[in-house]
Amino acid sequence: MSETPIRERRRGERVIIRIPVMLYGLTKDNRHISEEAETVAISRTGALVRSRSQFKTGGVVEVTNSFSKQADKFRVVWASEAQKQGCYDLGVEMLTPHDDFWGLSFPSAASAKS
C-alpha cells in the first residue's frame, strides 16, 4: 500500500513532537493499566503514541498531557502488532476534539483546506 492513500485520509497536519503523557485504560489482554508514554506526532484531533503496553484497537484510553495536566478520552484507532525498541505504536483520536489539549496552535480547519 502506498503512502498517498494514508495521507489523503488524514484530517489535518501533524507535528512531530515528544510530549510525555499518562495512559489509563484496558490493554489488549484486558488488564487495567496506568503507564507513562510519549507522543511521536500530534495533530488537532489525535496523536501517534509510543507505549510499553499494547492497547485494544477500538478501545478507549484516557490520555493525560503531562505538561498541562489536561486529561481527555481518546479512541485507539490503530495499534502495532509488534514492538519497536520495546514499545508499541498507537494511533489515537480524541472523542471530543478541542484545540487546546496539546498546548499548540494548529491552523483552523477552514484555512487547512485552502
* Cell numbers representing residue 45 in the block: 484531533
Q: Residue 3 pLDDT more than 80?
A: no
Does the pLDDT of residue 110 top 60, yes or no?
no
pLDDT at position 84:
92
Cα separations in angstroms, 112 against 23, 52, 83: 29, 34, 33
- Report yes or no: 40 and 89 within 8 Å, Cβ to Cβ: yes
Tens of pLDDT along 47-65? 999 999 999 899 999 999 9
pLDDT at 111: 53
- Report the C-alpha gap between 52 and 95 in whole angstroms: 23
Rounded to an integer, the average pLDDT of 7-14 is 61
pTM, to two decimals: 0.82
**How far is it, in rounded angstroms, from Cα 112 to Cα 103?**
19
pLDDT higher than threshold 70 for residue 114: no
Alpha helix stretches (DSSP H) within the chain? 3-9, 109-113
Q: Which long-range contacts (CB under 8 A, 24 or more apart) does 73-80 make?
A: 74/46, 74/47, 76/25, 77/46, 79/28, 79/54, 79/55, 80/54
Cell of 21: 503523557
Dihedral sign from CA coordinates of 90, 18, 7, 61: positive
- Position with higher pLDDT, 44 vs 73: 73
